[in-house]
Each structure stands twice: as structure tokens, then as C-alpha cells.
Structure 1
Amino acid sequence: MSTQANDDVIAPVSAERLPVSAAAPNADRAVSGRTRTFDNPRLRKDFADQGAFLYLEDFLAPEVTAQLVHSARSLLDEVNRNYLPGHKQGGSVSRHTIDRLAPFVAELYRSKELIGWLEQLSGDKLQLSPADDPHAYALYYYTRPGDHIGWHYDTSYYDGRRYTLLLGVIDESSCRLDYELHTRNADVPDQPGSVQIPPGGLVFFDGDKLRHRITPAGANEMRVSLTFEYVTDPNMRPWRRFISNMKDAIAYFGFRQVFRQMTARGKDRS
């Protein structure tokens, strides 16, 4: 198991090698079966030493990876594609669609075993993102030549910190996660790195601290990743909510997906 990111290319793993069970696995049991075998004090130190960043090339149990691969392929017709010149090209499926069509993803996101393990790494008490946040858990698709996302931070619009958990689902591509550590710490030199995340791999980081990008996909390639977002304070000021919703609508999920959920929430409260 690798705990430090490096520049070696990890060979893509074909999703077809992973059997899909008839019934979805138990998320808590599957997570605890993996995390109890880890050297967790060492991982906590790695996370802190790398400025709130950790990469593991082998995290998920095979049956969990298989279920996620199955979900990702079954949601291909639900992908909302976006193109922002000079910054982003690709597709996304929000938590609202996932809730309807791939409920195992939501079960994994809410896993108490997973959240507890991430709290050990971060040292923070983590909470679920609010129910109307389309980024709480989402699938990101790179399926056409040139699909990519440019350099950015996973900026938190919440009053507290927001942590990103990135899970590899399908990697039949040459795409890489390029990143720079310590960019917000003037006392430590910036440290660049690059990884190719295989199915079942994990990247966990503080969204406001890691500058990163996904390099462009080539012809006849496919990459799908799943992200979970956890927060330390689920409150968000109204003007930040507006900015966050507009960004999500334009760059990721579309106006219909984002604002339909807001309308439904308003009706539920009336």
C-alpha cells in the first residue's frame, strides 16, 4: 500500500475485471474491513506532513469498487456535460440524480466507519454536506478527447472547512491528478506531484489547501471519479450560497438540476 504520492504511472485497471455482486455490499462493514488493517497513526502523520493531503492507491474493498463501477456505467445517460473555455471540459452527475438511481453511493458517503476514519486523519469533527448541496457526492466523467479541469482549489463556501474525498472508479485513460502541496503555507516550499488514480484508490485533502488539476483525456479514453465532500460547519452565508449555486449550475450540473432542488426545498418548508 502506498501512502505517499509519487510520479510513477499506475497502470489502469479494467472495470470489467471486477465482479458486481447481486446485492450491494454493506458499506460500514466493507470500510471497517479495510481501515482496521491500515497503519492509521502513520497515515495521520503523512496527512499532516503533506499539508492535509493523503493518497492511497488501494483503499476500497473490491466488492465496493465493483458496485461503484456498475453505478457509474449505469448513469452514463444522466451525465450533464460542460465546457468552460480555458478551464474545464467534461461531465458530471450530482447527488440528486445519484439519490434516485444509485443509492449505494449515498450509503457509502454516510458510512459512520468511513467518516470516523477520516476524522482520525484530519483531526476534525466532520459533518455531512447539507441535503441541497449537489457536490456532497458526485460523479465526474472524462469520456471525450480533451476532457479535463484546470488548476483550482476546492474552495469552501461554508463557514468552516470542507474536505474532499476523491475515489477512483474507472480509469481507462491517461488522465492524471497533478497537484501542488503547501501552496498556502509560506513557511514550507511548494511541493508538486502527480498520480494516476486506479479504481479503488483514494485521495483525501482539505479543499482550500490543495491546488490541483486533471490532465486532458485522449481519444477513446474514459475516466470516472467519485467525490465526497464533508464539512466542519454546514452553515453558509446567503451571498456565498448564491455564488456556489451559480458555479454548480454553470460549471457542473446545469441550472435545472441545481435550482429545481432549491425550489423543492422551499416547498417542503412552506
Structure 2
Amino acid sequence: MSEQANDITLDDPSPASVPSRQRPAAEPAAGAMLPNPDACVAERTARLDSKQLRADFVRQDAFLHLEDFLAPEVTAQLVASARALVPQINRNYLPGHKQGGSVSRHTIDELAPFIAELYRSKALIGWLEQMCGEKLLVSPDSDPHAYALYYYTRQGDHIGWHYDTSYYDGRRYTLLLGVIEESSCRLDYELHTRNAQVPDEPGSVQTTPGGLVFFDGDKLRHRITPAGANEMRVSLTFEYVTDPGMRPWLRFISNMKDAVAYFGFRQVFKRLVPGQKPRS
């Protein structure tokens, strides 16, 4: 979910800047048993009417919303990870378009590997392929958007109307998972805006913990409405592609957008310098 603006303000929050009830809980103790994300997804998707959901996805022009998708134990682990990563948030402000915080896949790889394991779940990818009818691949290791957490923790945090424009040679599908929902924020969207033969169809949902929104970002026009005072919303997005190729000049544009609008230059560009270690 990205667009650019000229005047940029970046500020890294400290835990003290977050209301006390929103401060991160400790990560699970070493050796603690974590749920098996692949087994949990396989068990949940086996209960779904996937044929009907595939029909819904097609009818809604590559869009699907489920209020209850993840197993409770998986959602609980995502909540714990999201709270533990609060000190790692990179905040940004794009006047007239975006205000909020985010944590990239690079930080997640170091501090919350459970999320990376869920991202690569064969059961999850296989089910998503059933929905979209295409072979899906994980995003390249260099893509900070492959999986990322997005935080709305201050009054006015939001993102304006946009498409998730893909710079890849193929299509890029977005899986949005609700993690923490203690806010009045809504995901507003408009279906069929790229199809002149079908009237636009507006909608609005709240991304409940464990819920799912799956869509083709180049087709879905959407926004997140502003957070109120003392509210907190955290969502997790997974990006899958049909072709991981990208032209070099588009890769540069994509990296610049990620650095300015989401994760900061250190997180995005330090990864591209051989021998450099990312900030922990």
C-alpha cells in the first residue's frame, strides 16, 4: 500500500510514546512450544467451502473477506509478536495521504520468525492458489514488503485511497491478516474500479484478529480510516507474486517508496550492501 509525497517526517517511537496498555508483551520464552502454522492452516482450510469462496473471489473481481480464518493459537502468537515489535516501529508521515508505523520483513526475520514460517506455509499458499487460480510464489528475499506489520497507534494514523501497485513482471496478491483491533479504523474499499463493464461496488470491513482479506492490489482501491485517540490497530500483510522478475529501474523506484513511505532507508538499502548487518 504505497504512494509518494514530497514532505516527509520520520520519527522512531520509544515504548514510552505508546500508551501503557499498548506496550509490547515479552516474546515467548526460549523453548516454549509454538503452534505449527502449516498444520493449523491446513486444519482450518479443510473446514471451508473453498469452491464457494473461489466463486466469491471471482465475482468480486479478485477480492475476498473472511472474519474468522486463523486458528486462535496462531492469532495469539501474532498478537504477542506484534506487541513485542513495537520498539522496532518506523513511523512516517506523508501529508495528505499517510500516517502510521511499520515493521519490515527484515526485522521480522530477526525477531519474530514465526511470522516468516506462516508466510511460507504450503497449506496457506496452496489454499490461496485455489482462490486466485494462479501459481503463487513468495516474494524475493530483498523485498521488505514480502511480509510486514502495519501499526496505527496514534490519533489520526491512516492511509488514504490507493492501489497496491505492483512493479513485478507478474501479478502481486496481498493477504491482509487482522492482528490487533482496538480501534475504530475501517478498511474501506471499492470493487470493479478497473472494469468499465461493471459498476463500482463500495464496501467497508473491520479487520478482526484472525480475519482475512485477500485481493489483487492492482484492482482494489482501498484505504484505512483514521484512528482515534488511545486506539491501536495492527495488521499483517503477506505479498505473493506470479513472477518475481522486476526491471532494475522499477526495483529502484520500489525501494525508494519503501524507504520513504514505510521502513526507512536503513532497513531498505542497508540490505543491498554486501557485508552490512541490519539494525536489530
TM superposition score normalised by structure 1: 0.90
Give the Cα–Cα distance (whole angstroms) in 2 for the partners of residues 266 and 103 of structure 1. Answer: 20
Unaligned runs of 5+ in 2: 1-21, 23-27
1:143 corresponds to which of 153, 157, 174: 153
Partner of 2:243: 233
Give the Cα–Cα distance (whole angstroms) in 2 for the partners of residues 29 and 256 of structure 1. Answer: 36
Give the Cα–Cα distance (whole angstroms) in 2 for the partners of residues 77 and 266 of structure 1. Answer: 22
Give the Cα–Cα distance (whole angstroms) in 1 for the partners of residues 33 and 257 of structure 2. Answer: 36
Contact 1:132–1:265 (Cα < 8 Å) also in 2: no
* TM-fit CA distance, 1:262: 1.1
1:154 matched to 2:154 = no
1:29 matched to 2:19 = no
Deviations 1:161-207 (A, max 9, x none): 00000000000000000000000011100000000111000000001
Partner of 2:140: 130
Partner of 2:266: 256
Give the Cα–Cα distance (whole angstroms) in 1 for the partners of residues 248 and 39 of structure 2. Answer: 39
Q: Secondary structure at the match of 1:228?
A: strand
Partner of 1:9: none
* TM-fit CA distance, 1:266: 9.4
Q: Secondary structure at the match of 1:208?
A: coil
TM superposition score normalised by structure 2: 0.87
Give the Cα–Cα distance (whole angstroms) in 2 for the partners of residues 238 and 132 of structure 1. Answer: 13
Partner of 1:247: 257
* TM-fit CA distance, 1:264: 3.3
Partner of 1:174: 184
CA RMSD of aligned residues (A): 1.7
Give the Cα–Cα distance (whole angstroms) in 2 for the partners of residues 189 and 264 of structure 1. Answer: 50
How many residues are matched?
Answer: 250
Give the Cα–Cα distance (whole angstroms) in 2 for the partners of residues 266 and 44 of structure 1. Answer: 44
Q: Secondary structure at the match of 2:273?
A: helix
Deviations 1:50-98 (A, max 9, x none): 0000000000000000000000000000000000000000000000000
Unaligned runs of 5+ in 1: 1-13, 15-19
* TM-fit CA distance, 1:139: 0.1
Percent same amino acid among aligned pairs?
A: 79
